[in-house]
Amino acid sequence: MTELLEQGLLKWGVTLSDKQLDQFVQYYNLLIEKNKVMNLTAITEYNEVVHKHFLDSLSLLVAPIFRGEGNLIDVGTGAGFPGIPLKIAFPQLKITLLDSLKKRVYFLEEVADKLGLEEMEFIHGRAEDIGRDERYREKYDFCVSRAVAALPVLAEYGMPFVKKGGYFIPYKSVNIEDELKEAAHAVKLLSGRIKDTISFAIPNTEIERTLILIEKTAPIAKTYPRKAGIPKKEPLK
């Protein structure tokens, strides 16, 4: 059952232990079972979950700055993507999962417990509120997000969590040139600079993905993030 995942990861030069592969199978089973009673994902067929959730989440591997170490926060994690797959593959990573729906957070805590994942934190709340909390503000080496939103909005959600010298890395589709231009000033306001973009295909698929590497260059202004709901209604320009 794990052959697809193993084949995909080999393309990136990564091999997992039997324990890690079994954790992915357990995660899949828990996801499908819980999906019967709450909306976690529209993707349920095993091969598709491997490609569109597991391998896609692990595609952070293609970023040279990521070596599977440090502390990372996943903003708008939903059913745990990319945070849970990254934690399984890199147990030494300290991971925080943030989501605005309490039921999803309970599910993620259950997954971590049943899979034996340690050094994880789970937060229920909105990014705009938690990003102002001194316990989490500018504390992370990496902030990632697969949430569907325009880059200026995602940047205001994610950049407040990143320490100086760290990176906000949103997962995006391809053809993002216009979005990058539109977001350039917003990223600067948020004390960041777009250092690189990396485009690639998920192994053994035609699914194209782009990672945007945004470096935190200085402490963020106290103005950001703005109050909950404002970044989406009035994106920075």
**pLDDT value at residue 174:** 82
Question: Total domain count for the chain?
Answer: 1
**pLDDT value at residue 175:** 83
pLDDT tens series, the chain, 237 aa: 799 999 999 999 999 999 999 999 999 999 999 999 999 999 999 999 999 999 999 999 999 999 999 999 999 999 999 999 999 999 999 999 999 999 999 999 999 999 999 999 999 999 999 999 999 999 999 999 998 899 999 999 999 999 999 999 999 988 899 999 999 999 999 999 999 999 999 999 999 999 999 999 999 999 999 999 999 999 998
Q: What CATH number is associated with residue 176? A: 3.40.50.150
**pLDDT value at residue 90:** 97
**pLDDT value at residue 152:** 95
**pLDDT value at residue 135:** 97
Residue 20 belongs to domain spanning = 3-233
**pLDDT value at residue 148:** 81
How would DSSP label each residue in the chain? --HHHHHHHHTTT----HHHHHHHHHHHHHHHHHHTTS---S--SHHHHIIIIIIHHHGGGGSTT--S-SEEEEET-TTTTTHHHHHHH-TTSEEEEEES-HHHHHHHHHHHHHHT--SEEEEES-HHHHTT-TTTTT-EEEEEE---S-HHHHHHHHGGGEEEEEEEEEEE-S--HHHHHHHHHHHHHTTEEEEEEEEEE-TTS--EEEEEEEEE-SPPPTT-S-STTHHHHS---
**pLDDT value at residue 221:** 97
